[in-house]
Amino acid sequence: MLERLRGVYNLGMEEGYAAVRATGEPSWIHHGVPGSDHWLEYESELNNLVLDYPFSGLLCRFDAKMYGGALLYDVLSVHPLMVVRGQVVRNPYYMTSAELRLRGRI
């Protein structure tokens, strides 16, 4: 998926678009899709991806009702920003990929 996002970004730039945006929604992790056990690592690596591929918007959407407390905490820990009641705010629970690895979370 990370490679696909790189390709989407590159294609947009090659075709002359001024910006590229992407969005994702992970309900598939509840269906036993192969690789879903690495979902948190993937979400964390998106933060590294945007350092080299500066999307104008990369939005991860979550239905909080679909996740338990521990999984919601994991979701929060990998996103530097979040939308709360329509406002974009810095996430005080955010950890870098390196921090998550040190803590054994990914």
Give average pLDDT by consecutive 10-residue segment, the chain, 106 residues: 96 97 89 87 91 93 83 87 92 92 88
pLDDT computed for residue 72 by the predictor: 82
The pLDDT, as a whole number, for residue 8 is 97
Question: Which distant-in-sequence residues (6+ apart) come within 8 Å of 50 by Cβ?
Answer: 58
Number of compact structural domains in the chain: 1
Provide the pLDDT for residue 66: 81
- The pLDDT value recorded for residue 36 is 87
Return d(Cα 77, Cα 105) in angstroms, integer.
10
pTM: 0.81
Retrieve residue 77's tokens: 């820990």
Q: With 0-12 CB in 10 A as exposed, 13-18 as middle and 19+ as buried, what is 95?
A: buried
- pLDDT of 31 reads 87
At a CB cut-off of 8 Å and minimum separation 6, what does 67 contact? 75
Cα separation, 56 vs 42, in Å, equals 19
Determine the structural domain holding residue 66 and report its residue range: 2-102
